[in-house]
A and B are shown apart, each in its own frame.
Chain A
Amino acid sequence: MKLTERKQWFLKGMRHGIPIMLGYFAVSIALGIAAKNAGMTAPQATVASALIMASAGQYIGFTLIAAGASLLEVIVMEAIANARYLLMSTALSQKVDPALPMRHRLLMGLWITDEIFGVSVSVDGRLNPYYNYGMAAVATPGWALGTLTGVVLGNVLPVRVVSALSVGLYGMFMSIFVPPARKNPVIAGLVIVSFALSYAFNALSWFDGISSGMKIIILTVTISLAAALIFPVKEDDHAA
């Protein structure tokens, strides 16, 4: 890997990290408010966000800490809430160069979030780790500073602004799954099925006891597996 190539991917990652950063800033304000309500200090909440980078996982963790749960309980719940990252990490293992050195794999693992994953997995061809690093360099401060802002002045920021910024991340998701859906009718069908089943899962009270992270995993595994069995991908499709 040449130095200029690394630099180009890093800069591209930083550019694509800007919408992630803005969305993170907005979403993590709510997280900061939750942290404050759970009795955490500003440094504690900010450090947690800078390290953990997981919205649902952090919410659950903060709530359990406030409730006086044991360390083991918190770790088990954290594992359940974040288990979807196993799938994402597996997908990324097939997206990077098989010869990618271990140190890059260890580093990339630090920043597998829904958004960074979504953007990295949609690049053409092989994923260059420097693209991830660029995104993480911009997005992580957004998450940490948003949390800090939430703890310190969560109630001062205009609700309108927070509300508007909150859809930024969803806009990003759409710009990732819609273009391939336009090209590939199977993906288009899957998006519709995913929307419908996800809606049903959230509307039906039978599933109330399941955490949102768990719902995402159950739906992702079921729908993707069914699709893989019914519509196995031809090898050249992987380039899409």
Chain B
Amino acid sequence: MRHNVYLYILGMWAISYLIRVLPLTLIRREITNKTIRSFLFYVPYVTLAVMTFPSILSATQTPVSAAIALVAGLSMAWFGLGLFPVSVICCAVVFVSELILVH
């Protein structure tokens, strides 16, 4: 490689940090505008949903095991299981279903 890789890493870090820290440091008051408040209220749920599907389907060896984990995760979360159990059981579901599905 021709360039100094650490310089690139530093550049990548700096731009990422700027993006992450600017709103948090510049917006230091409560936003009162109702539309913006509503928008920000919905952002986390929408962004997490968008990031989950359909990319979960390509995270595992076969989309079938991921689909089973998706349904299992949605149901467990619906019935009130917490972050840690949902996460761990999803992993277990994939592991076990792939023992059968993938040879």
Q: Which residues in A have some Cβ–Cβ distance to B below 8 Å?
A: 15-16, 18-19, 22-23, 39-41, 44, 47-48, 51-54, 57-58, 61, 65-66, 68, 71, 74-75, 78-79, 82-94, 96, 98, 102, 105-106, 108-110, 112, 114, 117-119, 121-122, 159-161, 163-182, 187, 190-191, 194-195, 197-199, 202-203, 212, 215-216, 219-220, 223-225, 227-229, 231-233, 237-238
List 5 A-B pairs, Cβ < 8 Å: A85-B16, A119-B83, A122-B44, A170-B70, A178-B74
Q: Are A52 and B9 in contact (CB under 8 A)?
A: yes
Residues of A within 8 Å of B6, CB to CB, are: 44, 47
Chain B interface helix/strand/loop/mixed: helix
Q: Which residues in B have some Cβ–Cβ distance to A below 8 Å?
A: 1-3, 5-9, 11-17, 19-31, 34-56, 59-61, 65-66, 69-70, 73-74, 76-78, 80-84, 86-95, 98-99, 102
The 8 Å CB contact of B94, one of A41, A53, A164, A216, is: A164
Expressed in whole angstroms, the Cα–Cα distance for A25 and B65 within the complex equals 20
Q: Are B23 and A89 in contact (CB under 8 A)?
A: yes
Q: Are B15 and A82 in contact (CB under 8 A)?
A: yes
Q: Are A202 and B54 in contact (CB under 8 A)?
A: yes
Expressed in whole angstroms, the Cα–Cα distance for A61 and B9 within the complex equals 8
Q: Are A75 and B12 in contact (CB under 8 A)?
A: yes
> Total A-B residue pairs with C-beta atoms closer than 8 Å?
303
Q: Are A228 and B35 in contact (CB under 8 A)?
A: yes
Q: Are B95 and A164 in contact (CB under 8 A)?
A: yes
Q: Are A90 and B16 in contact (CB under 8 A)?
A: no
Q: Are A92 and B24 in contact (CB under 8 A)?
A: yes
CB-nearest residue of chain A relative to B49? A194
Residues of A within 8 Å of B88, CB to CB, are: 19, 22, 168, 171
With A48-B9, A228-B42 already in contact, 13 other A-B pairs whose C-beta atoms are closer than 8 Å: A44-B9, A74-B8, A82-B16, A87-B43, A105-B28, A112-B24, A160-B99, A163-B65, A165-B91, A167-B73, A172-B87, A198-B50, A231-B38
* A119 smallest CB distance to B (angstroms): 7
Q: Are B59 and A109 in contact (CB under 8 A)?
A: no
Q: Are A78 and B54 in contact (CB under 8 A)?
A: no
Q: Are B61 and A163 in contact (CB under 8 A)?
A: yes
* B94 smallest CB distance to A (angstroms): 4
Expressed in whole angstroms, the Cα–Cα distance for A117 and B24 within the complex equals 12
* B58 smallest CB distance to A (angstroms): 9
Residues of A within 8 Å of B95, CB to CB, are: 160-161, 163-164
Residues of A within 8 Å of B55, CB to CB, are: 170, 202, 212
Q: Are A102 and B25 in contact (CB under 8 A)?
A: yes
